[in-house]
Chain A
Amino acid sequence: MNYKLVFRLLGRLLLMEAALMVPSLAVALIYREGDAMAFVYTIVLTAVCGIPALLLKPQRDDLTARDGMAVAGLSWVILSFFGALPFVFSRAMPSLADAYFETCSGFSTTGSTILTEIESLPRGVLFWRSFTHWIGGMGVLVLTVAILPRLSGRTAHLARAESPGPTFSKLLPKMSDTAKMLYGLYLGLTVIEAVLLLAAGMNVYDALIHAFGTAGTGGFSNYNNSIAHFSPLIQWIIAVFMMLFGVNFTIYFHLVRREKEPILQNEELWAYLGITLTITLIITFNILPQTKEGFFTALRNAFFQVTAIASTTGFSTANFDAWPLLSRVLLMVLLCVGACAGSTAGGFKLSRVLLLGKSAYRDLEHTLQPRKVAVVRFEGKPVQESTLAQLGVYLFLWLGLAGCGTLLLAVFQKTDLGTAVTATLTCLSNVGPGLNRVGPTGNFAFFSTPAKVLLSFLMLAGRLEIYPILILFSPTVWKKN
């Protein structure tokens, strides 16, 4: 590892985080609820830790792929720590472990909370809690690449490690232009949503909080009963935007440039829309008997919950834990699959599922016709065999983490099987709620400290797609070179 360069990059990221806390400080100053000093302390402390690292002069500025990945993993661990400090200093959360869990949940856009009572907290703190969703959604490394002058010629590694999906596609030749374009689209969509929410009757503060929560596909709300607090119109708006933020941002790029062809060819997009609508209809009819208010309420609740889980946002308007088994199972399947690659959503990613399915079909065909030479095609292009092999490995790692996570959770916390399995999956998939005790009405407060640390780790691993977090455990990464 090129320590000097890595530290310099981390120093920059800390300063970036300090700067990103300034809006929250401003909110705290506006509402004067006693949390402003918590932000002042954190900003000063973060900057003080970040500045010395900037003075380092690395001899070589070439960032290897391995170092890039390690920086991505390390930076998320460290940023979550510093991001947790406002919660600690303002005494909004009982312990550092709780605050760390909440911040990881924020940055990784999970939206699982340890808070049992949200509405009484100072608004500056709640603003920061939701703002972490917005930063984590598109990624802080991508933001650094977009707005800071480059430190190394190979920044592609950084943004690639942070961007979800089996392959990273650049929109423009230069990495920094691509990052700018991504953030531009992201900001634009967020603003549109906030304006619509305002028009639908939300106040400015709530509109921002919920726009952040939707854009990052996070799911923190500042109300105890989440989106059920608001009118049906607002619920529809948020549901539609949750679906939109689960779409690969490349689609919006093509939309802005008025290019039809790549959008029509995008199999993942059409599969995503198709699955969302089909499952919405199934669940609507499944929950219709127990919905007293009639068909449209059932449809609204079903659509909202399907988009909330599929896009891995995790807002809720209804207690889906009380729904029939079929609906709950369908939601849990969506929870694992997640939405499109290249979106702000988490999960295993639909394109991976599609590719694995196609590859399985091809291999099945191969057993019947051993001499047949067949290529797996995706979105009109043949897929490299090495990509397919990597997918298998990723599937193994993902399932392995889910299995080991559940196992360890069983060691750290006494609870029922449904809670343990869905808590692990929801954290790994960055969704938020699970079933039983971690269902939409429950929360994560009851978990023991080691269990919270384990779940924080799973959230970061899920957000960064496992490798950047996992390689931090490899001694070769830490060897000086």
Chain B
Amino acid sequence: MRIVVIGGGKMGSSLALSLIEEGHDVTVVDRNESVLQRSMDTMDAMFIKGSGVSANTLKEADVQHADILIAATMGDEINMLSCLTAKRLGAQYTIARIRDPEYLTSLPFLQKELSIDYAINPERATAREISRMLRFPFAGSIETFARGRVEMADFRAAEGDPVVGVPMREMYKKNRHLPQVLFCAVERDGEIIIPKGDFVIQPGDRVHVVSDVATITDFFIALGKGTTSIRSVIIMGGSRIAYYLASMLLGMKIKVSIIEINPEKARRLSEMLPGANIIQGDGTDQELLESEGLTDAHAFIPVSDRDEENLMSGFYAAQRGVKKVIVKSSRDNYSAIMHNMGLDSIISPKTVACNSILRTVRGRASRSYAAVERMYRLMEGKAEALEFIAEATADYIHVPLRDLSVTNDALIAVIVRDGQVMVPFGNDTIEAGDHVVVISRRTGLSSLDQVVKR
């Protein structure tokens, strides 16, 4: 597909790179020459210098024939205007990044009037993601499939865990009491492995498991990782994420404290969030954290604009025994280091927004019925978990799995039929309308035919 990306900043360039990987024709528009120069060396895209609101620039980028326009500049207003202009010029579908909370309430009619087909608010999406992670504190991250019936969760295997040191095929013979989940992917030393029968989990591996909601919970209880619910949270930094997150958590009747260093910001937060406990002070100050009850808090979430501060206080909180620490960090290159140092829950607004845009793009790109329902990226995109709906006319329908060939780097994790979740075995079949969750090391899949063949 022909895609025009307005804005070559952090989000724009990372989006463009993923889109090029997936084979789309990408044109990047930016006002800053040096940004374009830098990207030119690493990206196989077309670069246009100019403003995304200028019709001339947009014409030069050939938006008339573009399938999708993504406006991802720093300015909400520029993004909205770009979408409007591009739509008038003939772009098929427009996506805008709109992040100012002030626009939140007017968004529905703004979207309609300005021809924005899809508005993405990275901070709000991130807040939603964090609140979801808080509901399942035992897992590093948790993704849902099949309208919430199936979950994929990950945890770090530790010395002494019953799953460690046992080959996969003997897993449930040795651990009879363990609820049956599917071990779908393991991250080890920066590589992602799809475990086969003789694979053995080692301490330090990040293990992803898939099953229905109840079994996943039972599995973690059996592992001794427990599931106490979160009732009080400390948020460090009064950023936009903090605002969105606090309003979500307050709605869930969770006690929220926000620590913000800037008195004016703190005051404004207090105005906007009547139910929250706003503290004006330095969130990296350990004494302040202790006096605000860090050790009693169920979760500590540093989401300030400075990633380094988030990291440092995140480490401190984890070391002080806070059960759940979720760190916001926009830099991809840090996450491997953080995983190694024991911080498992890291969230980046850029990645959250990119993933959600990529899902939309793929949905539009695939014309077949077996389109991608949901898509998650594991380990900075080294692998993906995808949900497809099986197509009635496909040739894999109604054939026992053992007679089908599944590509080497993929795994069929679960099949959901009429609301029933099942971990498939050789005798099982895929029927029309089934939701099929696939874990794949090959990225950019857009249909189930690419995974299973007769």
Q: Do A and B bind each other?
A: yes
Would A174 and B41 count as touching, CB distance under 8 A?
no
Q: Closest residue to A177 on the B side, CB-wise?
A: B25
Complex interface: stretch among B42-50, B81-89, B112-120, B160-168: B42-50
Interface centre among A153, A157, A172, A173 (most CB of B within 10 A): A173
CB–CB B45/A173 < 8 A: yes
Task: Please indicate which of the listed interface residues B26, B41, B44 has the most CB atoms of chain A within 10 Å of its own CB.
Answer: B44
Within 170-189 of A, Cβ neighbours of B (below 8 Å) are at 170, 172-175, 177
A interface size (C-beta, 8 A): 14
Q: In the complex, what's the smallest C-beta–C-beta distance from A155 to chain B, in angstroms?
A: 7
Residues of A near B46 (CB, < 8 A) are 170, 172-173
Q: Does A121 contact B (CB under 8 A)?
A: no
Chain A residues closer than 8 Å to B44, beta-carbon distance: 153-156, 173-175
The answer, yes or no, to whether A384 is at the interface (CB within 8 Å) is: yes
Q: How far is the CA of A170 from the CA of B45 in the complex (A)?
A: 9
**Complex alpha-carbon distance, A154 and B20, angstroms:** 12
Query: Is B2 a contact partner of A173 (Cβ separation < 8 A)?
Result: yes
Contact mask B1-41 → A, CB, 8 Å, 1/0?
Answer: 01000000000000000001000011100000100000011
Across the two chains, which residue of chain B brings its CB closest to A160?
B40
Q: Is the pair B40, A172 in contact by a Cβ cutoff of 8 Å?
A: no
What separation, in Å, do the CA atoms of A91 and B33 have in the docked complex?
54
Q: How far is B27's CA from A382's CA once the two chains are assembled, in angstroms?
A: 21
Chain B residues, Cβ within 8 Å of A153: 20, 42, 44
Q: List residues of chain B with CB within 8 A of the CB of A174.
A: 25, 44-45
Which residue of chain A has the shortest Cβ distance to B44 in the bound complex?
A: A175
Shortest beta-carbon distance from A346 to chain B in Å: 25
In the complex the two chains form, what is the Cα distance from A417 to B42 in whole Å? 47
Are the C-beta atoms of B42 and A173 separated by less than 8 Å? no
Q: Is A410 part of the binding interface, using a Cβ–Cβ cutoff of 8 Å?
A: no
Q: How far apart sit A455 and B261, CA to CA, in the bound complex (Å)?
A: 70
A422 to B42, CA, bound (A): 41
How many inter-chain contacts with C-beta < 8 Å in the A-B complex?
A: 30
Check A154–B41 contact: CB distance below 8 A.
yes
Cα–Cα, bound, A154→B40 (Å): 9
| Cβ of A115 under 8 Å from chain B | no
Q: Are B33 and A384 in contact (CB under 8 A)?
A: yes
Instruction: State the CA gap A384–B27 with chains docked (Å).
Output: 21
Please give the distance in Å from A249's CB to the nearest CB on chain B. 16
A170 / chain B contacts, CB cutoff of 8 Å: 46-47
Which among B2, B41, B45 is the interface contact of A65 at CB below 8 angstroms?
B41
Scan residues 62-102 of chain A and give those whose CB is less than 8 A from a CB of chain B: 62, 65
The distance in angstroms between the C-alpha atoms of A154 and B39, with both chains bound, is 11
Query: Which residues 137-194 in A have Cβ within 8 Å of B in the complex?
Result: 153-157, 170, 172-175, 177
Contact partners of A65 in chain B: CB under 8 A = 41
Q: Choose from B2, B27, B41 the contact partner of A157 (Cβ within 8 Å).
A: B41
**Contact A156-B27, Cβ < 8 Å, known A172-B46, A173-B2, A384-B33:** no
The answer to whether A172 touches B25 (Cβ under 8 A) is yes
Please give the distance in Å from A254's CB to the nearest CB on chain B.
Answer: 12
Least CB distance, A197 to chain B, in whole angstroms: 36
Q: Tell me the complex Cα distance, A154–B41, Å.
A: 7
Q: Complex Cα distance A113/B437, Å?
A: 66
In the complex, chain A residues whose CB is within 8 Å of the CB of B40: 156
Inter-subunit contact A173/B41 (CB<8 Å): no
- Interchain CB contact under 8 A, A173 and B26: yes
Contacting residues of chain B (44-69) with chain A, CB-CB under 8 angstroms: 44-47
**Distance in angstroms between the alpha carbons of A336 and B42 in the assembled complex:** 34
Q: Is the CB of B27 within 8 A of A173?
A: yes
A170 to B39, CA, bound (A): 14
Instruction: State how many angstroms separate the Cβ of B269 from the closest Cβ of chain A.
Output: 43
Option from A154, A175, A177 in Cβ contact (under 8 Å) with B42: A154
Q: Which residues of B contact A384 (CB under 8 A)?
A: 33
Binary per-residue interface labels of chain B (307-338) against chain A in the complex, 1 for a CB within 8 Å, 0 otherwise: 00000000000000000000000000000000
Q: What residues of chain A lie closer than 8 Å to B20, measured between beta carbons? A: 153
In the complex the two chains form, what is the Cα distance from A211 to B25 in whole Å? Answer: 34
CB of B44 to closest CB in A, whole Å: 5
Chain A residues lying within 8 Å of B25, measured Cβ to Cβ, are: 172-174, 177
Residues of the A chain whose Cβ atoms lie less than 8 Å from the Cβ of B27: 173
Q: Which B411-450 residues have a C-beta within 8 angstroms of A?
A: none
Complex interface bits, B334-374 against A, C-beta within 8 A gives 1, otherwise 0: 00000000000000000000000000000000000000000
Least CB distance from A135 to B in Å reads: 24
Q: Please give, as numbers and ranges, the residues of chain B lying within 8 Å of A177 by CB-CB distance.
A: 25
Which residues of B come within 8 Å of A, CB atoms? Answer: 2, 20, 25-27, 33, 40-42, 44-47
11 A-B pairs besides A157-B41, A173-B2, A177-B25 with CB distance below 8 A are A153-B42, A154-B42, A154-B44, A156-B40, A170-B46, A170-B47, A172-B25, A173-B25, A173-B44, A173-B45, A174-B25
Interface residues of A (CB under 8 A from B): 62, 65, 153-157, 170, 172-175, 177, 384
Show 16 residue pairs from A and B whose CB-CB distance is below 8 angstroms, ordered by the A residue.
A65-B41, A154-B41, A156-B41, A156-B44, A170-B46, A172-B25, A172-B46, A173-B2, A173-B26, A173-B27, A173-B46, A174-B25, A174-B44, A174-B45, A177-B25, A384-B33
Closest 4 CB pairs of A and B: A173-B25, A173-B46, A175-B44, A170-B46
